Structure 1
Amino acid sequence: MSTTESSSNFDNLEQMSIQQLLQNINQEDASVPKAVQQAIPQIEALVKEIVPKMKDGGRLFYIGAGTSGRLGILDASEIPPTYGMPHDRVIGLIAGGDGAIRKAVEFAEDDEQQAWKDMEVYDINKGDVVIGIAASGTTPYVIGGVKKANEQGLVTGCITCNADSALAAEAKFPIEAIVGPEFVTGSTRMKAGTAQKLVLNMISTSVMIQLGRVKGNKMVDMQLSNNKLVDRGTRMLMDELSISREEAEKLLKKHGSVRKVIDNVR
C-alpha cells in the first residue's frame, strides 16, 4: 500500500475533543517542512532546468487532478500579479477543465490522453517545461501527460508524496516529498497538499527571482491592481529612493510600476 493511502497514526478521531483534534492535526503538519527539506536537491535540479527554458521564452505547465490540479492553478494564477509576468508564461491545467476547480468531475483523472490534448491547445513545444502534480503518483491524467511530453522532447518534472511511483518513473526530474500517512486516512488534501504547495512556492519563487523579477527582496514588477499594492509600491519607492510619499505616489502613477520608476529616476 502506498504511503499516502496507509492508515493514520491516529484512530478513533470522532472521540477526540476539538482541542485534541487541532493539536494532533498540527502535530502531523509539523512533519511536512522536514519532508520538503529532504527533497531540496530534487527541487534544485528541476529549477535549474526551468530557468534557462523560461529565459529563452519557454513556458511552465502544471498538470494535475483534484487538489493537486487546483494547487497548480493557484500557483500559476499568482505569477502575473506578483511578478508582472504575462498570464501565458505559467499555466495550470486540471483534469476535467476549469469547471473542476470548484466541483469535482467524475473520472476525469482517469483519462491518460486528455492532459496532452489540454496542453496542445496552447501549442506546447520543446521550449516548454511540464510538471505533473499528483500526491499518489498514480493519476493517469498526469502520468499520460508527462509521458507524452517526454516523447515530444520536453523537460518534465513531477511533485508526488509517494516513493517510487509510476509518475516519478516517467518524470525526468521527479520531486518526492514523503510526508507519511494523513491524519484522516487517505485525505491527501492535508499533509500531501501542504507539501505540494510548499514545493510549488519554492519552484515558482526561485524561478522568478532567477529571471530578475525581484530586486533586493521586493516585488518590483508586481501589478498595481488594488489600493494595497499601490501602497506597497509607494513604500518601496520611498525606501529605495529616499523620497516622500507624495513624490513616490506621483512617480508611481506616472510610470505604472516600481521597476519603471527606479529605472527612469536613477
Structure 2
Amino acid sequence: MAIGTTQERLASGKGTTALGELATEARNPASAKLDELPTLDMLRVINAADREVAEAVAAELPNIATAVDAIVARIRRRGRLFYLGAGTSGRLGVLDASECPPTFGVPGELVQGIIAGGDVALRTSVEGAEDDRLLGTADLKAAGFSARDALVGIAASGRTPYMLGAIDYARALGALTIGLSCVPKSAVASAAEIAITPATGAEILTGSTRMKAGTATKLVLNMLSTAVMVRTGHVYGNWMVNVQMTNAKLVDRAERILSAMTGLQKDDAERLLQKAGSVKCAVLMHKLKIERSQAEGRLAAADGDLRKALGE
C-alpha cells in the first residue's frame, strides 16, 4: 500500500519517467514501414500486434481477480463502482458502465463512468482537461463518491494528472482504489491500492494508445464488470437472467433464456414472461409453482440471487 499523495511521490522523484521513455510511446519495429506495406500485409501486422494483447491481460489475471473480489465486497456494503479517465481511457470506462443496466438489470448509479471534460468529451476532445488534478477530485465529489465506493482509475500511461488527482482523493476518503494502466511501475500502480498493468508495449502507430492499450483496457473492464455481476448474483450459469426487456431484441433474448432454463416452448415462455415481468420471476414461478408475488418475495430475501432464491 503506497504512502503519501501522488504529488509527494512525484516530488520525491518516484513516477517521474519522461513520457517519451514509456513503453507505450516506443517505436514498434514490426510496423516501422507500415505506410509502405500492401493493405493486406499492413492489416496482418496490426492483427499480430493485437494477438499480443490477450497474453498481456492474461498475465494480470491474479490482480484482476483481487480487484473483482474487493469491488464485490464494497457493493455488498451498498457501495458503487466508478471508472474514471481521460480520452480513450475515459470513453472506455463510460462505455462499460453504460452497458451494465441493460445487461444486468442494475440501477444506473451502481456502475458509473466519468471522463475528463464531461460527456462532451465522449465525442470531442476537451484539451487540457486531463492535465487538471483538481478536476478529477471535483468530478468525483460532484458524483457523490464516498468512502464505501470503489474507483478504477484508467490511463494507458498511468500518469494522467486528472486520474491521479481522483485516485489520491479516493484513497484519502478510505475508498477502494484500483489503477489500470499499461506501463509497469507507473504512477497509478504506486498510488492505487490494487494495480492492474497489462504491459502491451509499443503501439503499431507510435504512441497511439487507442490501439493495443485501448484493447487491453476494454478486455480488463469487460472482466471486471462481468465478474462483479456474476459474483453479486446477476447471472445464472452463463445466462443474463437480469436482462431488461426494453426492445424487441432483448424481449426475444429473455424468451429464449426462459425456454432454455425451463424447457417451455416459445409461446408458453412468452406468456409466462408477460405474467412474471422478468426472467427471474418467471423461472421461480415455473420451477416452484408459485405466484409472482411469492417469487418477488423470494428474490428480495435472496438479494436478487436466483440460485439462492431457488434454494440451490
SS at match of 1:93: strand
Other structure's SS at 1:32 match: helix
The alignment status of 1:180 with 2:226, answered yes or no, reads no
The one-letter amino acid paired with 1:142 is: M
Secondary structure at the aligned position of 1:113 is classed as helix
CA contact (8 A) 2:176 2:193 kept: yes
Larger Rg: 2
1:174 aligned counterpart, secondary structure? strand
SS at match of 1:131: strand
Cα shift at 1:83: 0.2
C-alpha distance in structure 2 between counterparts of 1:50 and 1:181, whole Å: 31
Alpha carbons 2:148, 2:174 under 8 Å: kept: no
| Moved beyond 4 Å, runs of 4+ | none
1:103 is aligned to: 124
**Structure 1: how far apart are the matches of 2:141 and 2:271?**
44
Alignment partners' CA distance in 1, 2:251 and 2:82: 30
Q: What corresponds to 1:60 in structure 2?
A: 81
- Output aligned runs, 1:109-188, within 5 Å: 109-188=130-209
> What runs of 5+ residues in structure 2 fail to find an aligned partner?
1-20, 288-312
Give the structure 1 partner of residue 42 of structure 2: 21
**Over the residues paired in the alignment, what is the CA RMSD in angstroms?**
0.9
Tell me, yes or no, if structure 1 residue 223 matches structure 2 residue 252: no
| CA displacement at 1:122 relative to structure 2 | 2.4
Q: Which residue of 2 aligns with 1:192?
A: 213
| Alignment partners' CA distance in 2, 1:137 and 1:239 | 44
State the one-letter code of the partner of 1:87: G
Counterpart Cα distance in 1 of 2:285 and 2:74: 29
The worse-fitting range, judged by mean Cα deviation, of 237-246 and 162-171 is: 237-246
Question: Which consecutive unaligned segments of at least 5 residues does structure 1 have?
Answer: none
Q: Percent identity?
A: 45
CA deviation after TM superposition for structure 1 residue 254, in Å:
2.1
1:5 paired with 2:25, answer yes
Cα displacement (A) at 1:47: 1.0
State the distance in 1 between where 2:190 and 2:147 align. 20
Give the aligned length.
266
1:146 CA drift (Å): 0.3
2:101 is aligned, of 52, 74, 80, to 80
Given candidates 77, 83, 89, the residue that maps to 2:110 is 89
Higher RCO, Cα 8 Å, sep 6+: 1
The whole-number CA distance in structure 2 between the counterparts of 1:205 and 1:224 is 19
SS of the residue 2:133 aligns to: coil
> What is the SS of the residue equivalent to 1:106?
coil
Find 1:239's aligned residue among 254, 260, 263.
260
Q: What TM-score do the two structures reach when normalised by structure 1?
A: 0.98
Cα deviation, residue 256, structure 1: 2.0
- 1:202 aligned residue: 223
- Cα deviation digits, residues 167-223 of structure 1 (max 9, x gap): 111000010000110000000000000000000011111000000001111000011
CA distance, structure 2, for counterparts of residue 49 and residue 216 of structure 1: 22
Distance 1:61 1:115 in 2: 12
Alignment partners' CA distance in 1, 2:87 and 2:277: 37
| Structure 1 CA distance for aligned equivalents of residues 172 and 267 of structure 2 | 56
TM-score when scaled to structure 2? 0.84
Alpha-carbon displacement from aligned partner over 1:62-91 (angstroms, at most 9, x marks no partner): 000000000000000000000000000000
